[in-house]
A and B are shown apart, each in its own frame.
Chain A
Amino acid sequence: MNIHGIRAIYRFEMARTFRTLMQSIASPVLSTSLYFIVFGAAIGSRMGEIDGTSYGAFIIPGLIMLSLLGESISNASFGIYMPKWAGTIYELLSAPVSWVEVVIGYVGAAATKSVMLGLLILVTARFFVAYEIAHPIWMFGFLVLTSVTFSLFGFIIGLWADDFQKLQVVPLMVITPLTFLGGAFYSISMLPPLWQKITLFNPVVYLISGFRWSFYGHADVHIAVSTGMTLGFLVFCLGIVWWIFRSGWKLRN
């Protein structure tokens, strides 16, 4: 295992995060605060409780997931796309590092940043609403698992993209709608029966539901299903990355 190589990539990526602190951290925190003001304080005050939880508190897990998914994908995709775009990828490709080490370095750094962001949003939320975390270890575990899985997904997007538009298209056109429709702002039990069935095809439902369970102890789907679905997606993404590095697709051809 090339530990020095992993450390070099991880440090490089984390340095990039701290260089772009405003864009990396401040901007998502600001936009999440605005959500809390609008949906939590302004509109939420006129909404009733959902499963015994105030609306302001109910949306916290969904809002964290909203930022987490978007940021994990954009951090990781940007991290690997930039060397491709700038040409500095030659060094990575000619270095004695395996695909596992590359993934640990890049995805690890992107996921670290996402976890930091998630915790920061959690702290920010405290200024707007009171909440309790029923299962803090599960909450943190879910935060890490989601960050890693979607950073890995972002890493694949970064490898696949050959222009900036492609880099933006998946987070913007796929992930954001799926998150909004995945129960970030409502419980799926509030939907008509048919839509309750249809919405189960949305993978983000399982993430938000599982994360919400770790806060309030109740969820739209069972925690085991949520964890299983997320782990399944993680393994699927790992398989894709393994194939990309093995075949050299978009990298060594």
Chain B
Amino acid sequence: MSAAFESSVPTVSASDAIVSVRGVGKTYKGGFEALKRIDLDIRRGEILALLGPNGAGKTTLISIICGIVNASEGSIVADGHDIVRDYRAARAAIGLVPQELHTDAFESVLSTLRFSRGLFGKPPNAEYLERILRDLSLWEKRNSKIMTLSGGMKRRVMIAKALSHEPKVLFLDEPSAGVDVELRHDMWQMVRRLRESGTTIILTTHYIEEAEEMADRIGVINKGELILVEEKHVLMRKLGKKQLTLSLQQPMPRIPEALSGLPLELSDDGLTLVYTFDAQSDETGIASLLRRLGEQGIDFKDLRSSESSLEEIFVNLVRKPKEERA
């Protein structure tokens, strides 16, 4: 864990946390260490996005919490129940939508939902299942065999299955993988509705846009380590950089000597000058830059400032070596 973010990692009290992960590690047979002593508290009612490159350990972490994979070390408490000692109560509180479209091809949509609800120990409830299917625009397809559905619909069936036993916590592992833009936006809306109804949601994603759009907090996993967990807006403020882009009147062959000490970049065509500054600092250096540009006789026709996106922050984080992040 990066020292800079240690204070921001599990700061919630046990009563706030619906899932508490303590020192969880996983080493697969053959010695591959997929997770390195993860500590994480997931707050009741929040949307937490776990970001990380392929193979970072996101799915392993989710799989351990849900009981699919045994952890090599550490402990997890879900909804107040240890996931090993009191697995029944812990698992009953959790719903999982895995990344791959694993479905029973020959089953109908409604029967697979009934199966899932029963498997999780809930008595039949036709009204509840109808509501889920209607919410996910699947009611018309309730008697169709799953094999006849499109990829997007199958994804929705998987979500419906995960919701069929009324879980308090929903894990969505790459929910937007292979889903078109329209369905992705529908899904975002559904996730928001779920959160409003009190469900805690943890999603892993490759789409930074998705995390930026929906998450309350962001966790970044890289090479089996939880690099940070932070409120989304705090993260963007802490790690975000602002840039001032100046469109020049005349192309400039190179950055003049007098400006060489400043964090400036010149475009290849010499017409755009980009100045990077710390968004948090009171002294941005913009006034000084503009004065010095005037002294050098460099005119510009336009200027605009922009903030780095979550994607840039993320790429920056996972590329930096551990020491640098600290």
**Interface: B100 (CB within 8 A):** yes
Q: Which residue of B lies closest to A93 (CB)?
A: B68
Which residues of the other chain, A, contact B100 by a CB distance below 8 angstroms?
87
- What is the interface residue range for chain A against chain B? 20 to 34
Q: Contact: B67 with A94, CB < 8 Å?
A: yes
Most buried by A among B88, B89, B119: B119
Q: Contact: A4 with B118, CB < 8 Å?
A: yes
A1-23: CB near B (< 8 Å → 1, else 0) gives 01011011101100110010000
Instruction: Answer whether A87 and B102 are a contact pair too, CB < 8 Å, given A94-B94, A252-B70.
Output: yes
Q: Contact: A90 with B88, CB < 8 Å?
A: no
A–B pairs, 6, beta carbons within 8 Å: A4-B123, A95-B91, A96-B88, A252-B67, A252-B70, A253-B69
**Interface: B29 (CB within 8 A):** yes
Q: Contact: B66 with A5, CB < 8 Å?
A: no
For the complex formed, measure the closest distance between the CB of A59 and the CB atoms of chain B, giving whole angstroms.
Answer: 37
Which residues of the other chain, B, contact A86 by a CB distance below 8 angstroms?
102-105
- Secondary structure of the A side of the interface? helix
For the complex formed, measure the closest distance between the CB of B159 and the CB atoms of chain A, giving whole angstroms.
Answer: 13
**Interface: B128 (CB within 8 A):** no
Which residues of the other chain, A, contact B69 by a CB distance below 8 angstroms?
252-253
A93-113: CB near B (< 8 Å → 1, else 0) gives 111111000000000000000
CA distance A16 to B70 in the complex (A): 30
For the complex formed, measure the closest distance between the CB of A244 and the CB atoms of chain B, giving whole angstroms.
Answer: 13
Q: Which residue of A lies closest to B100 (CB)?
A: A87
Q: Contact: A91 with B119, CB < 8 Å?
A: yes
Which residues of the other chain, A, contact B119 by a CB distance below 8 angstroms?
4-5, 8-9, 91-92, 95, 97
**Interface: B98 (CB within 8 A):** yes
CA distance A252 to B83 in the complex (A): 14
Q: Contact: A90 with B121, CB < 8 Å?
A: no
Which residues of the other chain, B, contact A19 by a CB distance below 8 angstroms?
106
A188-214: CB near B (< 8 Å → 1, else 0) gives 000000000000000000000000000
